[in-house]
Structure formats: structure tokens, C-alpha cells
């Protein structure tokens, strides 16, 4: 039987990223997928046939483009371990830009009302709720499968986020107004050349019309009627959509319209504030 070192060397020869291979091997071994130090200290060990078979199956799925997070069944986001599978998008590190901006706008101890539209795995809503315990966080999704994942994550983390089924604002409680509305909606154009690489993730959570802005338009149009005076709307969008989204926000009457950059220096989020007096 090959040793751990030989097993990982064979995975590299197949073109699998070293970090991915290490996490998948740890998963097959039933160990913490973040404990790469264990692999280094046991590099001469020989995993048994069952482990080797499980690892090879995982490698095959990874070679086919399936996200590592789906293979492991979990993904860390903002320090939280979230259950993820093919029912939801894999949370991306760049989305933490949206969460950080939200936390800047939510003082500690403030009982603000927060809404996450298109919550998916619940990543944004749960990250905000974990850091602002006094806030009432609601989350909406039009997929019952996604809501099942999000609710399971909330239960596992012990966070009291309220989940609702519906398409954008149609899922919110009647008459509810919010101090902060957040969303990472679909924003990829139909037929975009990057879509084949994302084929394992739910298409309805990725694409939004010919220019990728259909859902962003719908959210911006509906937001002023569901926000409290002085409330903020923050949106994640594509790398080349900041200008268009700022224009939408300004046209909807929002003030202090601005954008924030992600870890790569790209304008990834844009937002604006509803006037105190309308």
C-alpha cells in the first residue's frame, strides 16, 4: 500500500491542487481537514484500502470540477463552519467584504433589524448574527432546499435567525421595515463563459438575465419600500458591475452611494442609504 507521501504525490500527478488533496485525504481518514500538520508527522503511514478507495473517489469528483466544499460537506465563512452541498452556492471569501461593511454600520448592542435576501447557506445572515447578538436578523430565499441548509446551519450554531420562503421582499413579514438590507444575489450574465466551471453549483443562484443585473434591479426597486428611514442597502455584484449598481442605487433615491473593494482590490460591493426624510 502507498504511504501518505506517495498517495499525495500521485494526486499531484493527476493535477489536483496540493491543499485540496491534503484536505480530501484527511477527510477520507476521518480527521480534521485543517490538520495538515498531522499528515506531515505521519507521512510514512500507509492508509488502508478503504481509505485509499474513498480518497480516489473524492479525487475523481474533484477532477470533474466539483467544489472541495461539497466533497467535504462544509465550508468556513467568517469563522463559522457551515454545512454546504449542491443545494447552495459555496460561500466565497470575497463575500466577507459585505459582512464587514454591515458590521461597521451596526453598533454593538444595537437592536437593529437586518434582512439577508437570497440567503443560500445562511452565510451572511449567520455571520452578522454571530457578531451582533442584539440584532434581529431575518433571511429569505426562494429555494426550499436552500432554506433547509440554512436552517440546519442556524440550529447547529445556535443562532436565532428567522428564515422565510419567498422571492426577494415577497418573503418578508408583512409591514416589516429594516435598518439594513444585505444581498449577494445572482449577478452572472446568461451564457457567461465562466458558467461551465460553476456547473456543479445551482444555476438559479448564479445567473440573472442578459447583463446579470435583473435581480439587482429588482432588489433596488423594492428596497426603499421595506427599509426604515436612514437604513442601508448593501449589495454584492460582479467585478465590472459597480458603476451600474451605483447608478441603480442613486436612481432609487438612495444617498451616500459608494462601493467597497474585495481582497483583490476589485469593487465587489455597493450600497446606499435611504434618506431620513422622504
> What is the distance between the alpha carbons of residues 200 and 103, in angstroms, rounded to a whole number?
31
What integer is the mean pLDDT of 146-157?
A: 97
Please write the tens of the pLDDT for every residue from 221-233.
999 999 999 999 9
Q: What is the pLDDT of residue 278?
A: 61
The yes-or-no verdict on residue 251 having pLDDT over 90 is: yes
More reliable by pLDDT, 122 or 40? 122
Q: What is the pLDDT of residue 104?
A: 95
Please write the tens of the pLDDT for every residue from 90-132.
999 999 999 999 999 998 878 899 999 999 999 999 999 999 9
- Would you identify the CATH topology of the domain 86-273? Rossmann fold (3.40.50)
Please write the tens of the pLDDT for every residue from 56-76.
999 999 988 899 999 999 999
The yes-or-no verdict on residue 175 having pLDDT over 90 is: no
Strands 80-83, 74-77: parallel, antiparallel or unpaired by DSSP? antiparallel
pTM (two decimals): 0.91
Q: What residue ranges do the domains of the chain occupy?
A: 4-64, 86-273
Residue 253: which region, alpha, beta or left (left: phi > 0; alpha: psi -120 to 50)? left
Amino acid at each position: 500500500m502507498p504511504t501518505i507521501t506517495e498517495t499525495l504525490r500521485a494526486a499531484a500527478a493527476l493535477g489536483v491542487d496540493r491543499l485540496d488533496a491534503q484536505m480530501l485525504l484527511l477527510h477520507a481518514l476521518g480527521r480534521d481537514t485543517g490538520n495538515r500538520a498531522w499528515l506531515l508527522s505521519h507521512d510514512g503511514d500507509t492508509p488502508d484500502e478503504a481509505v485509499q478507495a474513498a480518497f480516489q473517489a473524492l479525487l475523481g469528483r474533484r477532477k470533474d470540477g466539483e467544489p472541495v466544499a461539497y466533497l467535504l460537506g462544509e465550508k468556513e465563512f467568517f469563522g463559522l463552519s457551515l454545512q454546504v452541498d449542491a443545494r447552495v452556492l459555496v460561500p466565497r471569501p470575497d463575500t466577507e467584504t459585505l459582512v464587514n461593511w454591515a458590521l461597521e454600520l451596526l453598533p454593538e448592542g444595537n437592536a437593529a433589524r437586518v434582512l439577508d435576501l437570497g440567503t443560500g447557506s445562511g452565510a451572511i445572515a449567520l455571520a452578522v448574527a454571530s457578531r451582533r447578538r442584539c440584532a434581529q436578523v431575518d433571511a429569505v430565499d426562494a429555494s426550499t432546499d436552500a432554506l433547509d441548509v440554512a436552517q440546519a446551519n442556524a440550529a447547529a450554531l445556535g443562532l436565532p435567525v428567522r428564515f422565510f420562503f419567498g422571492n426577494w421582499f415577497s418573503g418578508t413579514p408583512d409591514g416589516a421595515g429594516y435598518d439594513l438590507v444585505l444581498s449577494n444575489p445572482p449577478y452572472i450574465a446568461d451564457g457567461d463563459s465562466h458558467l461551465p466551471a460553476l456547473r456543479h453549483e445551482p444555476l438559479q443562484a448564479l445567473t440573472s438575465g442578459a447583463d446579470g443585473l435583473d435581480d439587482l434591479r429588482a432588489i433596488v426597486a423594492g428596497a426603499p419600500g421595506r427599509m426604515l428611514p436612514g437604513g442601508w442597502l448593501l449589495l454584492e455584484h460582479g467585478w465590472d458591475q459597480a458603476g451600474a449598481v451605483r447608478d441603480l442605487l442613486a436612481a432609487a433615491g438612495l444617498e451616500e452611494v459608494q462601493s467597497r473593494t474585495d481582497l483583490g482590490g476589485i469593487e465587489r460591493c455597493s450600497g446606499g442609504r435611504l434618506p431620513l426624510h422622504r
